[in-house]
Structure 1
Amino acid sequence: MDELFWSIARTSGIISLCLLTGSLLLGIMARSGRSFGALSRYTQSLLHRSFSLLSVLFAALHVIALLADSYARVHLIDLLIPFFGEYRPFWQGLGTVGLLLMLAVSLTGLLRQRLSQPMFRGIHLASYLLWPIAVAHGLGNGSDAGAVWYRVITVVSIALVAAAGIWRLTANYADHASARRLAREGAKP
């Protein structure tokens, strides 16, 4: 049974990280105010939310499988207090920090209409911290971290996020975001 839980934990962790990467990329694109390729801004936003929620679900499956696996030695307290786990406490602790950040970002996404814009944006910006923490957790604690296929996935993910981050910092990105904000503010009565 432990092998089944271990396989579920490994697979769901990798899928969650891939979905988190996709969500981050889609969030950056949607925030620019431009459509990307054949995707409308609405479709980008819908995909961003879907990837985010699926990432949370797969992260929950990852955690549940680890809790059920006696070999993994993950306990309920490890989900609340980082860096005190039995196995590789630093890397496991990063997973705990990532999980808590993921929950905070997800809740702000679900409660967006009830939060002030500055509060939503401030907490939602934690995604930029969440993603590298999740990548580091996978590299430091993942049993597949040494596999070539896993490293390829990680390198491609890092390259895509780095490219999107650089693009976000360009003047062209800022011009589109400013134009979108002005158009939104001009539409208000």
Structure 2
Amino acid sequence: MTALWYLSRATGLALLIMLTSVVVLGALHSGRFAARKWPRFAIAEVHRNLSLVTVVFLVVHVATAIIDPYAGIHWLDAVLPFVSSYHPFWLGLGAFASDLFLALIISSLLRPRISARAWRALHWTAYACWPFGLVHGLGIGGADSRLAWVLLLMLCCGVAVLIAVVWRYNARHPDTEARRRPWTGMR
């Protein structure tokens, strides 16, 4: 085992935690959650900044997997889903999740230049990005993904996202209600 292999695995697990946190914070923010110690602007800023830090970890995760000669993963394999000769399905899910995540980041950076409807539609892909990344880790993680503490970590992340998504779906706020009505609040 090389340092690159360990770094790739470690950044993959860190990505799971960070992406889970990003999804949870995004669900809380879009559901208009606020508390005295966590006002909405703070949730939005932490969500945004953690998303950008997560991109750095994603780049390190992908780069170490590519640089490590063991699997023979190429740059194209990390971008185009399901073309790799090394575990094409599991690696493809990771490539697909990465592509979705990068589309989210790019759309957020372009938010002032695109319509709210387009941005919101792209942001809905976050709910697909997270499970693809989780299943990628379960499938390609080998013996690591069967370790009790890794399974517990994945379970905790899954429960956190499930609770946040259910809370978001049930959140009631005038802004949220306006966005749920067709052709309202979607300019």
Question: Does TM, normalized by the shorter one, top 0.5?
Answer: yes
Distance 1:17 1:37 in 2: 28
Query: Does 2:132 align with 1:122?
Result: no
Distance 2:86 2:145 in 1: 16
**Corresponding residue for residue 113 of structure 1:** 112
Question: Which sections of structure 1, spanning at least 5 residues, go unmatched?
Answer: none
**Corresponding residue for residue 67 of structure 1:** 66
Query: Does 2:138 align with 1:139?
Result: yes
Asked if structure 1 preserves the Cα contact closer than 8 Å seen for 2:78 and 2:91, the reply is: no
**Corresponding residue for residue 151 of structure 2:** 151
1:17-56 → structure 2 map (5 Å cutoff):
17-36=16-35, 38-56=37-55
CA-based RMSD: 1.8
Distance 1:66 1:60 in 2: 10
Aligned-pair CA distance for 1:176:
5.2
Distance 1:26 1:169 in 2: 14
Asked if structure 1 preserves the Cα contact closer than 8 Å seen for 2:30 and 2:168, the reply is: no
SS at the partner of 1:145?
Answer: helix
Aligned-pair CA distance for 1:33:
1.5
Aligned-pair CA distance for 1:83:
1.1
**Corresponding residue for residue 85 of structure 2:** 86
Cα distance 1:179–1:94, how it changes in 2: closer, same or farther (>3 A)? closer
Aligned-pair CA distance for 1:36:
4.1
Distance 1:37 1:71 in 2: 50
Q: How many residues align?
A: 179
Asked if structure 1 preserves the Cα contact closer than 8 Å seen for 2:4 and 2:65, the reply is: yes
**Corresponding residue for residue 178 of structure 1:** 176
> AA paired with 1:175?
H
Distance 1:87 1:67 in 2: 11
Distance 1:28 1:36 in 2: 15
Query: Does 2:163 align with 1:163?
Result: yes
Distance 1:176 1:150 in 2: 40
- More displaced 10-residue stretch of structure 1: 35-44 or 106-115: 35-44
Asked if structure 2 preserves the Cα contact closer than 8 Å seen for 1:34 and 1:176, the reply is: no
Aligned-pair CA distance for 1:7:
1.0
Distance 1:98 1:90 in 2: 12
Distance 2:160 2:79 in 1: 31
Distance 1:26 1:163 in 2: 12
Matched residues, percent identical? 31
